[in-house]
Structure 1
Amino acid sequence: MLLRLLADAPLAVRMVLCRDRDLPEAVVTAVVAHPDRHTRSFLARNPHVEPVQRARLVDDPEWFVRAHLADGPRPTGSAPPLPDDTVVHMMETYGNEELGGPFYQQFSRDLRRALPTHPVAKARAWGFDGWASLPAGIRAALLEDPDDEVRERARRHARNEDPAWVESALPAHSCHARNHTLMNLPLSRAVVDGVLARPAGPDEKSMIAGNTSLPADVVVLLAADPDAEVREEIAGRADLAPAELRALAEDPDPKVRLAVSVHPAWTEEERAGIDYEVRVDGPFYYWPAPLTPADPEAARRNALSGHPLLRRRAASVHTLPADLMRRLAADDDLGVRVLLAQHHPDAPAELMLRCFLEYTGPGRADLVARPDFPTDGLAVHAVDEDPEVRVLAARDPRLAPDAADRLTRDPDPVVRAAGARHPKLPAARLAELLDDEELAHHAAANPALGVGAIRRLVGALGVR
């Protein structure tokens, strides 16, 4: 039936089929050989199939398909990366136009680590993420690389470590390039003095406040700046002297006190003496694991801290040990629990459900997408006031048929759609919904739909 749809159904049907669901191997093979480039590009963007299946399109004759394969599924990062050998092959054979999107999201963590020393020159040319943290020997080798492109990229990165060169290339007007430079690259004294005397933009003092190349006397100066945003930014520096730390801990602005309260120089007793306040309602965001693993000792200190922001940092560590994970799963701070549920691969199912019920900010729906989010027992939420909670009931395989029927009549359209897809929906109601303008699409996706009904639906499309 799927092969018939693939061969004869309209393009919109092929889009749903090839982009929005997992596919049997025989159907994948047919999609790869399909004469329509749009149909093949749908598979290139499918987050539900295995990466090795998407990789079968790596040498597609159409630029259109290859570019979509390089971009990957949407939203970006919603699927596992492509196989390493496929990615390297793309680096060697694709043009800049095909690789101009979020291609790096297709890299595995192992490949990212291997790029600076990869035997393939085109792969080494992608290996400059985190140049400053590369070992000196690897940087030296890249600067003398036999490949012209790799060597030139290395030299461009090395130039960015020279304050004199940075000064010569700094745009005089406020722009993204200037902002990036002021925040991240080593600054000459002339550039720093110019920002202090004649900033090109209103926030430039805040930008340089976090720059690690800032001279010590300027750090002292900005720690007492009349602008609270500047003081808040300077409060995060690790090189603050005791006098500046004490002054910032007593700052009249609560944001400044909060920023300095997590400084690593404090003892837990000193930290507790700072008058800070932490928002408890979020927002809380998921961040991918960094290439450089978190310091396990720092993570443990943070997990055991009395400061909720430090415990939240620990909760965001993907590799947090099991004992600390269990401790933070019972933490009294909502942010700690939510961040743990978002980041830890072994977060308990009951924690994910609790966080979904208690947290309503960004990333809430992503908790449900976690593979270990529970399903059993969710039917009790079918009458909750929050429609995002009511829809959980449709995930329960033991939902009663009459409860599934009620969900299809819910005032919220998302809940109604979920009810229409539940396999326990009574057959009579399911048949009724196949003629419902709003819910027919969802009813047609119900796994309880009989083969006869499926054949009638496909026949209605004019598919032979």
Structure 2
Amino acid sequence: MTALHGGLAVNPAAPADLLLRLLEPEYESAWYALASRRASFPEEVTAAIVMHPHPRVRGALARNPFVDPEVRGLLVDDPDWLVRARLAGRPDRTRPVRPLPDWVIDRMLTTYDNDGLQELFFSRQIPFRIQRSYCRHPMASIRQMATNVWTFLSVSERAALLKDPHPQVRASVEHMLETDDAKAMERRLGPVPVPRNHGTGLILVNYRLSRTVVDWLLSDPHPDNPWVLAHNYSTPPDVVARLVAHPDPKVRLELARRGDLAPAHVQDLARDTDPRVRTAISLRPELSEYERAAIDYTVDTDEEFGPCDHHAQAAPDPAASAAYARSRHPLLRRRAARDPALPAALVTLLARDDDLGVRMLLAHNHPAPPPELLLRSYLEHRGAYRDLLTEHPRFPVAGLGARFMDADAPDERRLAVLDPGLAPGTADRLTRDPDSAVRVGATRHPRLPGARLLALLAGEELGEHAAANPALPVNVMRGLLT
């Protein structure tokens, strides 16, 4: 009976009074499913979960990846720190994350402790536009965070932070600007040889280095030093030139990604023996299409092509995306395919692209991909994010039953049970399918004949899923609680 209660908890047709009963102590086994797996709740059920005496129920709602973030946000002031931490953390790392509402983020930023804020920052639930507005926040502690998006701020916004009335804000900005001061970084590092730790590593890899420190890195035998110099933006040109012939391809690959690489070195690395280096060079923005085509680059098709958290990062340049979309280089077209703001004409163009990665990334990242692209992408690529395609509102579910009910591959037969017009007899037959996922989908299908549904409800394997079927009569649902 416990499993049946879990099925009822996620049944989209379960009435509010039944869901409220499931929140009582007698049905504790259904609490987690009810709070964490439903995509929506009647208003009174939401209120009951938010005010539930047991933090486990509230914590499950805080991590629900299916429900509207506005509902999750109702827990922002929960009295239990673990519930608040669950809200701040990413709900599900196997799915794209949706941003929290602005009012929830502001409440967190102004009331949560450092541990809670670290969870929030790494969760990618903060839209980039909110991060971009930190510089104008009335709280000094939030304005300090604007240094994290310094390169995206306007000249006037930077000037205002430099003259901020709060000394901690000014100090944070000055501390950040010091990272481009080689002498200041040398003082932070201390005398050479520099001790190896997280703090010194951060400086050596990312901040401006003095010639003294650069020469020490060249003479010191630590195996990571060549890569550090290849990566650091301030490495002098003569040192970069010495590294072009370095035997480690990881060092040459890092050089290939430098924005300031001299044309002669670009030409040298375009002929590199390592395909990863040549491929990185082929993506450089200063190259023409003709120059790219002359490079022997490689294109992998075994990657995990999935969705991006677009809201959490700066929007791509529309002109760059348009140019990438028309490029002959498939890896540049893949960049364009990730842009959710790509115009319809370019979406149509890339939907017919001959590169699997372009098509997959477009299907996963654009809000309006062609329906036939979604289906084609599901059929062509068995990656970790494959099933997310079937959840897209434009996924073409009509007619899938007749088309795929007899498919040889189980993952194709699973498409049949997505068809809202699936024939009742077909649904019945698919509840006996050799594949468990097909059986589950058919058991949950609202067009499953009533007699078969009730028979499955009494079975051990599929009873829980029969209880989740929205066609289950309400009187039967209520009977499962008596």
TM-score by length of 1: 0.90
Matched, 1:327 2:349: yes
Within 5 Å, give how 1:215-294 maps onto structure 2.
215-289=236-310, 291-294=313-316
Count of paired positions:
458
Gaps of 5+ in 2: 1-17
Give the stretch that moved more between structures: 294-303 or 166-175: 166-175
Aligned to 2:469: 446
What is the letter of the counterpart of residue 312 of structure 1? R
Aligned to 1:15: 32
Aligned to 1:120: 139
Counterpart among 50, 60, 78 of residue 32 in structure 1:
50
Alpha-carbon separation, structure 1, partners of 2:221 and 2:342:
43
The answer to whether the 8 Å contact 1:11/1:39 transfers is no
Alpha-carbon separation, structure 2, partners of 1:108 and 1:406:
46
Give the stretch that moved more between structures: 307-316 or 170-179: 170-179
- 1:71 shift after superposition: 2.4
Counterpart among 371, 375, 384 of residue 407 in structure 2:
384
- 1:306 shift after superposition: 1.0
Alpha-carbon separation, structure 1, partners of 2:278 and 2:80:
57
The answer to whether the 8 Å contact 1:278/1:309 transfers is yes
Counterpart among 164, 170, 184 of residue 206 in structure 2:
184
What secondary structure sits across from 2:146 in the alignment?
A: coil
Aligned to 1:42: 60
Aligned to 2:322: 300
Structure with larger RCO (C-alpha < 8 A, sep 6+): 2
The answer to whether the 8 Å contact 2:453/2:466 transfers is yes
Alpha-carbon separation, structure 1, partners of 2:413 and 2:205:
46
Output one character per residue of 1:164-220: Cα deviation in whole Å (capped at 9) or x when no partner: 3334445945555555444432222233333333253x3442343233222111222
Aligned to 1:84: 102
Aligned to 1:462: none
| 1:166–1:407 CA distance, 2 compared to 1 (3 A) | farther
Give the stretch that moved more between structures: 49-58 or 27-36: 49-58
Alpha-carbon separation, structure 2, partners of 1:312 and 1:184:
28
Identity %: 46
Aligned to 2:439: 416
Counterpart among 132, 154, 160 of residue 135 in structure 1:
154
Within 5 Å, give how 1:393-412 maps onto structure 2.
393-412=416-435
What secondary structure sits across from 1:441 in the alignment?
A: helix
Aligned to 2:8: none
Aligned to 2:5: none
Counterpart among 364, 375, 386 of residue 386 in structure 2:
364
Alpha-carbon separation, structure 2, partners of 1:276 and 1:56:
51
Matched, 1:161 2:180: yes
The answer to whether the 8 Å contact 2:97/2:309 transfers is no
- Root-mean-square deviation (CA), in Å? 2.5
What secondary structure sits across from 2:387 in the alignment?
A: helix
Alpha-carbon separation, structure 1, partners of 2:92 and 2:429:
33
Within 5 Å, give how 1:195-214 maps onto structure 2.
195-200=217-222, 202-214=223-235
Aligned to 2:84: 66
Aligned to 1:4: 21
What secondary structure sits across from 2:147 in the alignment?
A: coil
Alpha-carbon separation, structure 1, partners of 2:410 and 2:145:
45
- 1:8 shift after superposition: 4.1
What is the letter of the counterpart of residue 21 of structure 2? R
What is the letter of the counterpart of residue 286 of structure 1? P
The answer to whether the 8 Å contact 1:145/1:151 transfers is yes
What secondary structure sits across from 2:119 in the alignment?
A: coil
The answer to whether the 8 Å contact 1:262/1:310 transfers is yes
What is the letter of the counterpart of residue 134 of structure 2? L
| 1:193–1:318 CA distance, 2 compared to 1 (3 A) | farther
Output one character per residue of 1:7-51: Cα deviation in whole Å (capped at 9) or x when no partner: 344333111112211211111112222222222222222233333
Alpha-carbon separation, structure 1, partners of 2:321 and 2:96:
27
| 1:240–1:59 CA distance, 2 compared to 1 (3 A) | closer
Alpha-carbon separation, structure 1, partners of 2:200 and 2:404:
52
Give the stretch that moved more between structures: 337-346 or 239-248: 239-248
- 1:59 shift after superposition: 2.5
- 1:143 shift after superposition: 3.8
What secondary structure sits across from 1:298 in the alignment?
A: helix
- 1:408 shift after superposition: 2.2
| 1:56–1:102 CA distance, 2 compared to 1 (3 A) | closer
- The runs of at least 4 consecutive aligned structure 1 residues that moved more than 6 Å come to none
Aligned to 1:346: 368
Give the stretch that moved more between structures: 437-446 or 287-296: 287-296
What secondary structure sits across from 1:338 in the alignment?
A: helix
- 1:79 shift after superposition: 4.9
Alpha-carbon separation, structure 1, partners of 2:293 and 2:426:
51
What is the letter of the counterpart of residue 451 of structure 1? V
What secondary structure sits across from 2:104 in the alignment?
A: helix
What is the letter of the counterpart of residue 276 of structure 1? Y
TM-score by length of 2: 0.87
Alpha-carbon separation, structure 2, partners of 1:125 and 1:9:
49
Alpha-carbon separation, structure 2, partners of 1:62 and 1:337:
45
| 1:215–1:41 CA distance, 2 compared to 1 (3 A) | same
